[in-house]
Amino acid sequence: MKRRSSKSKARPRGTVDVDAYLATVPADAREALEKLRKAISAAAPRAEEGSSYGLPAFRLDGRPLVCFAAATHHC
């Protein structure tokens, strides 16, 4: 029996949708992370959003630039 290839648009394992991630963060931390996200985008306009190690991240020229996240006592 021949297996069909699945062409679903599911994200690769471990990837994060940044907006979905931020929606799960408490409001005060979300505000701080949104400011940080905008600052990173302004400082590195060619950087691409994505994820690394399950965290929201930016890559520049295919290389990791920065990750950001919220923890219990800090962002």
Higher pLDDT, 7 or 27: 27
Rounded-to-integer distance, Cα 70 and Cα 65, Å = 18
- pLDDT tens digits for 13-44? 556 789 999 999 999 999 999 999 999 999 99
Tokens 């950087």, residue?
Answer: 47
- The domains of the chain are located at 18-67
Higher pLDDT, 2 or 62: 62
Give the pTM.
0.75
- Whether residue 75 is predicted with pLDDT greater than 60 in this model: the reply is yes
Is residue 3 classed exposed, middle or buried when 0-12, 13-18 and 19+ CB atoms within 10 A define those classes?
Answer: exposed
Find the angle CA(61)-CA(22)-CA(44) to the nearest 5 degrees: 25
What percent of the chain clears pLDDT 90, i.e. is strictly above it? 64
